[in-house]
Amino acid sequence: MRECVSHETQGVHALTHSRKMAPPVHKFGHQAMNTVFEVMLVEDDAQVAESAAYAVFQKVDRLEEQISRFLDVSEVAMISRIKPGETYRVSPETLDLLLIATRVCAATRGAFDVTVGTVMDALRGVGHRWGGLTEKERRDALDACGMNRLVIDTENLLVAVNPDRQGRDTPLELDFGALGKGYAVDLGCELLQNDYGFADFLIHGGTSSVAARGSMGDGPPGWPVGVGGDWKKRAGLDAVRVSGGAISGSGFEVKGAHIVDVRHGVAAARHAAAWSYAPTAALADALSTAFLGMSWGEIEKACEALEGCGALVAREQPEWMDRVRRPVRQCGCFPLPHL
């Protein structure tokens, strides 16, 4: 286990500024899911803190083995081999992820869709350029997607697959992406609370999402979390205090326009950056991803449909326009009351 330092992107980051006469905050980092997870714990005993963080990282690693698209023995890989008429029994965690994905897909009217793997594979082969695909390649990949292809038996933990839009038995390629990282953060929070009895901690998954409990031991409620990225100064944003919920951020400064809107067969790039607040990190991560390709009206409706959720979205406008209107818009329960 090694320590690592958070860095700010268009995502979110924890602020662990100097605190006087407060219990120590122990920070531990771990490489998983192609990013770095961090656990920050308020605890007098360093060994207890390290043991708890190690248990969290073990849980993250086990989840990655279950849901990675790039492991032949993962449950996601096994689902991709199901033919119409067959079923596959999944773990409770994978079932939970599928149910969360279904819920967010409905609330975002299809903007969030974890069946996008076929399109991601096609784009990867042409350098993530939509223009590199022929019209047939584009249509074939899109027609293989769709949450309506999934049949979920919640009682027996069984998954089945319907034919695609062309009636073919093409593989259903799931890509949980950021949702999986957020869910890993939630599993870590449950472990620290229920198994170790911690009430004051923060976990983040690669700065894309942060979930926190308690107050960082410094008095005010919540942990200070920075949001805004390049828009922070322009919008006059400051750190928000997070406790009992999660914040997630999505943008393009690191990976470019890598998020797909399967509804229209384009990159999800209506907004330069988006942040979400939700009761869980999985829900927050799914929403910030979806917001990038949604209209403002769709975002407002999604926040209304999902209790306890909110959005902060960057406007595409030149800096001189900031004198006329704020460069960000807020709705729902996003914790920035001054906007």
Q: What is the CATH number of the domain that holds 135?
A: 1.10.3980.10
Per DSSP, helices labelled H in the chain are: 46-67, 75-79, 92-107, 117-124, 135-143, 177-190, 232-235, 281-291, 296-305
Residue 160 covered by a domain = yes
Residue 108 covered by a domain = yes
Residue 331 covered by a domain = no
Contact predicate 82/160, CB 8 Å: yes
What are the phi and psi torsion angles at 178 (to 5°)? -65, -30
Q: What is the pLDDT of residues 274-317, one digit of tens each?
A: 999 999 999 999 999 999 999 999 999 999 999 999 999 988 88
Q: How far apart are CA 226 and CA 229, in angstroms?
A: 8
Residue 6 covered by a domain = no
The C-alpha angle 206, 207, 210, rounded to 5 degrees, equals 110
Tell if the pTM clears 0.95, that is, is over it.
Answer: no
Provide the residue range defining the domain that includes 90: 81-175
Residue 71 covered by a domain = no
Residue 100 covered by a domain = yes
Residue with tokens 């969030």: 112
User: Can you say how many angstroms the Cα of residue 18 is from the centroid of all Cα atoms in its chain?
Assistant: 29
Residue 278 covered by a domain = no
Q: What is the pLDDT of residues 141-167, one digit of tens each?
A: 999 999 999 999 999 999 999 999 999
- Dig out the tokens for 52 from the structure: 């708890």
Domain count, the chain: 1
Residue 53 covered by a domain = no
Q: What is the pLDDT of residues 103-112, one digit of tens each?
A: 999 999 999 9
